[in-house]
Amino acid sequence: MNKKVTVVGAGFVGATCARRIVEGDIADTILIDIVEGMPQGKALDMMQSAPVEGFQAKITGTNEYRDTAGSDIVVITAGLARKPGMSRDDLQSMNAKIVSDVVKNTTIHSPKAIIIVVTNPLDVMTYLAYKISGFQKHRVIGMAGVLDSARYRYFIAEALSAPPYAVQAMVLGGHGDAMVPLPRYSTVNGIPITQLLPQDKIENINDRTRNGGAEIVKLLKTGSAFYAPSASVVEMVKSILYGGGNILPCAAYLSGEYGLRDVYCGVPVQLGANGVEKIIELELTNAEKELLKKSSEGVKAQIGQLSI
Ligand code: TXD
């Protein structure tokens, strides 16, 4: 039987995720949204590309959760996107209502699913999804670190005129302005960038990474990034469905790792059939630890504003 992935929210990120999943023959996909006809129209359009693209997976658009029943993974992209000048945090109360509703439906129709949260503010929405679902912590994961690291990798590649695939990089912390790029753990084919780039250039790249989302919001004017975000979600989906033990930075529930507790925060995790199979604790300098603590404290403060 084919794997089944539900993508909730058929907007820019959701529809592009769904497209990548079916075109890659990764899983049969259900695309669900509250807007009537829209997910059905996008799904039909994608199915009509199957003869040309040559994929066999199926995508179904719907407004009914019963069609999502028995999903292996539920990706939550439902919500409002940032507008220019709007912080991720402004979105919190509006998106909390939406995510709560989606999670309640997920627990009813796909009680065994792994949930990947994409909706912003990411770490807070993932915490909310964990609490509302009652699922074990390893089955509720947030997508941000793969995206933030991908942006970091691209900027490093650009600065060094190196091919992006040769660059590996790690960004920890919450998905916000206080995220923590780690140059010591970022390499071009194994060579740390601290040996390839001057410190001031690295600082510039770190800053551009922290503002990577805002830079695109400013350019697009009417929405936020979706190509790299959807590619990042699909990397996580593949690692969960098809194993391989990939280690990716994801928002995971911490219970003492990195000295942090009862918070979702971006850390390297090994993904597999159970979701988060293992949290990897990197050795950090005191300065790096301090930045991570500060970033997670920001997330905690936002979590404190939730009424769960
Ligand atoms: O790194 C990351 N985690 C992110 C997060 C990267 C990029 C985008 N990020 C966030 O994802 C963004 O800030 C938003 O909170 C979400 C979705 O962004 P997208 O760009 O896809 O927004 P759209 O195009 O507005 O799509 C949202 C869809 C839209 O079609 C709504 O009708 C739908 O969500 N929606 C719902 N679907 C199902 N159920 C409910 N309740 C619902 N409410 C809205």
Q: What CATH number does residue 185 fall under?
A: 3.90.110.10
Q: How far apart are CA 263 and CA 96, in angstroms?
A: 16
Domain boundary among 96, 122, 144: 144
Looking at residue 1, what is its pLDDT? 60
DSSP 173: B
Q: How far apart are CA 266 and CA 145, in angstroms?
A: 6
DSSP 276: E
9 plus 123 within the same structural domain: yes
73 plus 207 within the same structural domain: no
269 plus 287 within the same structural domain: yes
157 plus 70 within the same structural domain: no
Closest atom of ligand 1 to CA, residue 175:
1
Q: What is the pLDDT along the chain (308 residues), one digit of tens a residue?
A: 689 999 999 999 999 999 999 999 999 999 999 999 999 999 999 999 999 999 999 999 999 999 999 999 999 999 987 677 767 667 898 999 999 999 999 999 999 999 999 999 999 999 999 999 999 999 999 999 999 999 999 999 999 999 999 999 999 999 999 999 999 999 999 999 999 999 999 999 999 999 999 999 999 998 899 999 999 999 999 999 998 899 999 999 999 999 999 999 999 999 999 999 999 999 999 999 999 999 999 999 999 999 87
Asked if residue 108 lies in contact with residue 65, where contact means CB atoms within 8 angstroms, the answer is yes
In angstroms, what is the span from residue 27 Cα to ligand 1's centroid?
A: 21
Going by CA atoms, what residue is nearest to atom 24 of ligand 1?
11
Q: Which two tokens stand for residue 208?
A: 């551009």
Asked if residue 3 lies in contact with residue 27, where contact means CB atoms within 8 angstroms, the answer is yes
Q: Which two tokens stand for residue 247?
A: 């280690």
Judge whether 178 lies within some domain: yes
211 plus 70 within the same structural domain: no
- CB contact burial 161-178 (16+ within 10 A = b; e otherwise): ebeeeebbbbbbbbbbeb
125 plus 167 within the same structural domain: no
Going by CA atoms, what residue is nearest to atom 15 of ligand 1?
119
58 plus 160 within the same structural domain: no
Judge whether 308 lies within some domain: no
279 plus 184 within the same structural domain: yes
Domain that holds residue 97: 4-144
299 plus 160 within the same structural domain: yes
